[in-house]
Chain A
């Protein structure tokens, strides 16, 4: 029997999203050139998904758009959030159409690994607003800070749940549940003024009240992930 030739796996790859607002060949070419000249190494052979979510214009020559991208060594791999009226034209480019909810990509040998350049940081770090809550979060309530930090200037009651994609800061008692980095950010932390939590989680690693060091109960603490282990430390 022959050895297995391949295996299909679901995976998540890092790509750029090129969010198109409007298109004219000249402007687009010039602006893309300017952008890429800032960090040519970084963009070299980068896979890119073209999102039409915010595209307001009429039908354009999408094949030309793809060509322009390729001229600059970008690798358009799909279109996303495509309005029905563009579908026919886009199919001519031979690129797949992704649903607009999630950008799901199948692992592909030609996909470059996430670039490690310093410029990557500056390109990707985008300012995100924190969510600020000034009143107590009560039992049965749930507060979620999507895409950023959650700052609570009051208490989180038993039976309440606070979640954030980033860090969670609680300037009061934490008696409920706090889940930071829920989309997988392992560098996220939970800070609280007075620890009395039911559960604390960072990027899916959690700790229950039973396993909290009793010496830290009622103390100001931070909770962070290090080497897959959750640490609770006084601050």
Chain B
């Protein structure tokens, strides 16, 4: 049985797809056979972040509608043999997702994969609910600002009430907080919420803190998940996150602002 992990947030633009790509790749790098499913039907992005947009022939909706089989739709990653992508359809909308269809696909994937990463669309409507319904674990991606935190709180409520585990009274979905776009300097200046603030408000265990980094945008545009960039702070932070997801204890890095030089400080440069 595969472990189903949903990457969700409520709010858009906080880094769900970047995180899905990075965590999925990280699990594959560590030797776990992993598939990432794009649930954002109609606003397909995962293929771009993964750099496989030219190889999409069949998609998730084709499989749901039995117009193609899973093997035809799965795209094998060129960097890592353990990694597969199931892209969303760009020409359809979220109504194309049905609970039974999603369950069938997840069951079939469960037979051959260790991890299934569900990249959720933004919002709390059907697409997001489908993505989280069958989840065993949830990575709640949050930016250190109040609206993102509130939306994360909302999605945690939905995980607690509308997931399969909640409905059947099984063990609750395991929740992880992932803080992205964290800028320690701005936290020190009081412009951003701190890790402690967010953890206190959301009251779920922290699995990772990804620093705001130019490497993320660069990685997205190049179609190479940032975790493959071992020199980038964001890539290293995602590697640490994957290790924690797998149960390892890793110290948190990148929580302190880099020391500014005396001259820089004097000139007020960032």
Contact = CB atoms under 8 A, between A and B. Distances in A.
Contacts, number: 36
Interface string B127-159: 000000000000000000000001101101110
A159 B154 contact: yes
Interface residues of A, number: 15
A157 B161 CA distance: 15
Contacts of A140: 154, 157-158
A175 B172 CA distance: 24
B203 interface: yes
Interface string A56-92: 0000000000000000000000000000000000000
The B contact surface, by secondary structure, is helix
Interface residues of B, number: 13
A173 B172 CA distance: 22
B157 A139 contact: yes
A135 interface: yes
A137 B203 CA distance: 11
Given A154-B203, A157-B201, A135 B160 contact: yes
A55 to B, nearest CB: 34
A107 interface: no
Interface string A165-183: 0000000010100000000
B152 to A, nearest CB: 9
A148 interface: no
Interface of A: 135-141, 154-155, 157-160, 173, 175
The 6 A-B residue pairs with the shortest CB-CB distance in the complex, in nearest-first order: A138-B157, A139-B153, A139-B154, A141-B157, A157-B153, A140-B154
Given A139-B151, A140-B157, 11 more contacts: A135-B172, A137-B157, A138-B154, A139-B157, A140-B158, A157-B153, A157-B201, A158-B201, A159-B153, A160-B157, A175-B201
14 contacts: A135-B172, A136-B156, A137-B157, A138-B160, A139-B150, A139-B154, A140-B158, A141-B161, A157-B150, A157-B157, A157-B201, A158-B150, A159-B153, A159-B154
